[in-house]
Chain A
Amino acid sequence: MKTTLTTALGLTLTLSLFSSHIYAQTPEEKGLAIAQEADKRDNGWGDQTSDMEMVLLNRQGESSRREIRTQTLEISGDGDKSLTIFDKPLDLKGTAFLTFSHTHGADDQWLYLPALKRVKRISSRNKSGPFMGSEFAYEDMSSQEVEKYTYKYLRDEPCGDGLTCFVSERYPTDEFSGYTKQVGWLDTDEYRPIKIDFYDRKNALLKTLTFSDYQQYLGKYWRAHKMEMINHQTGKKSIVNTSNYQFKTGLKDSDFNKSKLKRLR
Chain B
Amino acid sequence: MAPAAYSLEINGKVGLESLSFFQEAKYPEQESAYHSAFIEPELYFQSGENSEIKAKLFYRYDASSASRTHADIRELMFYQYADEWELNAGIGKVFWGTTESRHLVDVINQVDMIEGLDDESRLGQAMLQAKLIKEWGTLDLFILPGFRPLQFGDETTRPRFNPLVADSDPLYQSNDETRHIDFAARWNHSFDELDIGLSYFNGTQRNPLYKLMTENGTPKLLPVYVQSQQLGLEAQYISGDLLLKAEAVHRKSHKLTTGDHFIDYDSNALVAGFEYTFVGINDTAYDIGLIGEYLYDEWESTTPFQKDWMTGLRFVFNDEQSSEILLGHTLDLDDQSQMWLIEASRRLGENWKAELTGRWVTSVDDDNTFLQAYQQDDLLDLKMSYYF
On A, residues with C-beta under 8 Å from B are 49, 56, 58, 64-65, 88-93, 106, 108, 116-119, 121, 123, 125-126, 128-130, 132-134, 176, 178, 200-202, 246, 249, 252, 254, 257-260, 263, 265
Give Cα A28–Cα B269 distance, bound, in whole angstroms: 58
CA of A178 to CA of B284, assembled, Å: 11
Q: Are B95 and A252 in contact (CB under 8 A)?
A: no
Question: Are B387 and A91 in touch, CB under 8 angstroms?
Answer: yes
19 CB contacts below 8 A, A to B, read: A89-B351, A89-B387, A90-B388, A91-B13, A123-B243, A126-B277, A129-B280, A130-B285, A133-B319, A133-B320, A133-B321, A176-B279, A200-B283, A201-B283, A258-B190, A259-B131, A259-B133, A259-B138, A263-B81
A129–chain B nearest beta-carbon distance, Å? 5
With A91-B347, A121-B190, A254-B84 in contact, do A56 and B320 touch (Cβ < 8 Å)? yes
Binary interface encoding of chain B residues 78-90 relative to chain A, with 1 for a CB under 8 A from any of its CBs, else 0: 0101011010000
Contact A121 B236 (CB under 8 A): yes
A121 CA to B287 CA, complexed, in Å: 17
Contact with A along B36-77 (1 / 0, CB 8 A): 000000001010000010000000000000000000000000
Cβ-defined contact, B385 with A91, below 8 A: yes
Q: How near does chain A come to B302, taking the closest CB pair, in angstroms?
A: 23
Contact (Cβ within 8 A) A260 B350:
no
CA distance A58 to B138 in the complex (A): 44
Cβ-based interface call for B120 (8 A): yes
Q: Does B251 contact A (CB under 8 A)?
A: no
- B250 near A: Cβ within 8 Å? no
Q: 8 Å CB contacts to A: which residues of B112-138?
A: 120, 131, 133, 138
In the assembled complex, the CB of B96 is this many whole angstroms from the nearest CB of chain A, namely 9
Chain A CB within 8 A of B259 CB: no
Q: Known contacts A129-B287, A201-B283; is A123 also within 8 Å of B238 by CB?
A: yes
Chain B 1-29 interface mask (CB, 8 Å, partner A; 1/0): 10100000001010000000000000000
Bound complex: CA of A256 vs CA of B44, how far in Å? 22
Question: Known contacts being A129-B287, A201-B283, A254-B133, is A121 close to B238, with CB within 8 Å?
Answer: yes
B268 to chain A, nearest CB (A): 24
Near A by CB (< 8 A), chain B positions 243-292 give 243, 277, 279-280, 283, 285, 287
Across the interface, B322 reaches (CB within 8 A) one of A133, A176, A254, A265, namely A133
Instruction: Check A49–B279 contact: CB distance below 8 A.
Output: no
Contact indicator A128/B280 (Cβ below 8 Å): yes
A106 to B79: give the CA distance in the assembly, Å. Answer: 34
B347: chain A residues at CB < 8 Å are 89, 91
A116 touches B133 (CB 8 A): no
Could you tell me which B residues sit within 8 Å of A by CB distance? 1, 3, 11, 13, 44, 46, 52, 79, 81, 83-84, 86, 93-95, 120, 131, 133, 138, 188, 190, 192, 195, 236, 238, 240-243, 277, 279-280, 283, 285, 287, 318-322, 347, 349-351, 353, 385, 387-388
Instruction: Write the nearest CB–CB distance from A80 to chain B, whole angstroms.
Output: 18
Q: How far is the CB of A106 from chain B (nearest CB, A)?
A: 7
Residue on B nearest A56 in the bound complex, by CB: B320
* Nearest CB of B to A127, in Å: 9
- Cα–Cα distance between A92 and B385 once the two chains are bound (Å): 13
Q: B243 to chain A: which residues have CB within 8 Å?
A: 121, 123
Contact in complex: A90, B351 (CB < 8 Å): yes
* In the complex, chain B residues whose CB is within 8 Å of the CB of A128: 279-280
Taking the nearest CB of chain B, how far is it from the CB of A54, in angstroms? 11
What residues on B are CB-neighbors of A134 within 8 Å? 320
Give the chain A neighbours of B138 by CB distance below 8 A.
257, 259
State in angstroms the CA–CA spacing of A88 and B52 once bound together.
Answer: 22
**B194 to A, closest residue via Cβ:** A121
- Pick the contact of A93 from B11, B83, B120, B349 — CB < 8 Å? B11
- The smallest C-beta distance from A123 to any residue of chain B, in angstroms, reads 5
Cβ contact within 8 Å between B320 and A246:
no
In the bound complex, CA of A178 to CA of B351 (Å) = 31
Complex-state Cα separation, A257 to B44, whole angstroms = 22
A90-B387, A254-B84, A254-B133 are known contacts. Are A106 and B240 too (CB-CB below 8 A)? Answer: yes
A124's nearest neighbour on chain B, judged by CB, is B238
A191 CA / B250 CA spacing, docked (Å) = 60
With A133-B318, A254-B133, A259-B138 known, 11 other A-B pairs at CB within 8 A are: A90-B388, A93-B11, A106-B240, A121-B195, A121-B243, A125-B279, A128-B279, A254-B83, A257-B133, A259-B131, A265-B46
State how many angstroms separate the Cβ of B78 from the closest Cβ of chain A: 13
Q: Which of B120, B277, B280, B287 contacts A178 (CB 8 A)?
A: B280
Complex Cα spacing A117 to B385, Å: 20
CA distance A165 to B86 in the complex (A): 51
- A53: min CB distance to chain B, Å: 13
A-B pairs, 8 with minimum CB distance = A90-B387, A133-B320, A259-B138, A118-B95, A126-B279, A117-B95, A130-B318, A121-B195
CA distance A125 to B321 in the complex (A): 22
